[in-house]
Amino acid sequence: MSVPEPNSSAHPRADAQEGGPAPHPDGTSKQTPNQELDKSAQRVREMFRQIAPRYDTMNHLLSLNIDKWWRKKAVARLKVQGDDPILDVCCGTGDLAIAIAESVDTDVQVIGSDFCHAMLEIARDKEDARTLDARGGSGRKTIPFFEADSMSLPFAENHFQCVTVAFGLRNIADTDAGLREMVRVCRPGGQVMVLEFSQPWLPILKQLYGFYFRYVLPKVGQMLARNDKSAYEYLPASVGQFPSGEALALRLKDAGLTDVKYYALTLGVATIYCGNKPVDAETGKEREKCGGDFQSPSPDTSPAQSSLVSRLRPGNTLSWRLPPLIPGSADGACGALRSQARAWERACVRLRVATS
């Protein structure tokens, strides 16, 4: 299946997002335990831009390389079926996207998205190195990495068989909006998977974990990153204020997922959450007509519809502007609109109708 092209006209860039406390001149803000955590796009993007060059080294060192094992366990939980693409949001430097690509069939296209350009540059360098190492013999598809806001993904709905995020959900300004976007672009019957830090349940481990996160990690992180320690003060604060376990599982259910399960790793230091997007009978029927990609016209559409649909890209919206309704004709007009909408739905086109 071809890679969906982002529709920049329909979705705002991440840098248009605003909100949260005003950042310091360096793009970060100091945090006290009683303050609400500043997760504004500007602050988070600048923070990751600053630590991007040493992000992987610090992650592996500070986690004693356990983060690699966590990603491996997360990949093992994916239910990959067929050759529909897989999307990894908040992909950062690309570790999870690459791990998924190396574990699935060569026909499956893996795609990464993140709103931090500096992190994506490292992800692309990793992918270039992986492609060179393969020497063209693996037959695997190259992973494209898109710069995109996870609260407004530039991809068509119902497109990906799996949508994943690792250690990035808590960094999205609006957690629920981010989850809803993941569910939107996931196909019916597909899977959404979240790998995230959580709170260990063993009392002694919880105390050691808290001490390490509050006092050790910020100082070591500052020393290794050679930067303002606020980035590594943000990490324990973001984990401490973020829901985990049953609380986060309920958020996945509220976003529209069913059969939500979660699996604790390393005595609860990290947790994998998995849920399925419900299969809608009508949507499934239309996917079958369209060959599964929501772009090809179905056989029973008119030649004019087929011609127009064939020129649309995934994620495009066809807009109609109608004249003002004549008083007393609303019922008939609405009936006509419903009839036309059903015809276009058979062509797998989403309509946006407005009156002038």
Annotated binding site for S-adenosyl-L-methionine: 93, 114, 149-150
Nearest partner of 309 among 274, 281, 351, 339, judged by Cα: 351
Order of all β-strands in the sheet with 186-197: 145-147, 110-114, 86-89, 160-166, 186-197, 270-276, 258-265
Q: Residues at the annotated binding site?
A: 93, 114, 149-150
Q: Encode 156-184: b = buried (16+ Cβ within 10 Å), e = exposed.
A: bbbbbbbbbbbbbbbbbbebeebbebbbb
Cα separation, 260 vs 208, whole angstroms:
30
User: Which residues face 111 on adjacent strands?
Assistant: 87
Q: How far apart are the C-alpha atoms of 263 and 40, rounded to whole Å?
A: 29
Paired tokens of 165 = 């995020």
Query: Which among 45, 52, 38, 51 has a CA at the least distance from the CA of 16?
Result: 45
Pairs from 210-218 (Cβ < 8 Å, separation ≥ 24)? 210/236, 213/239, 213/240, 217/62
DSSP one-letter string for 289-302 = HTTTSS-SPPTTS-
Cβ distance 178 to 151 under 8 Å?
yes
Which of 154, 128, 162 has its CA nearest to residue 142?
128
Do strands 270-276 and 160-166 pair parallel, antiparallel, or not at all (unpaired)? unpaired
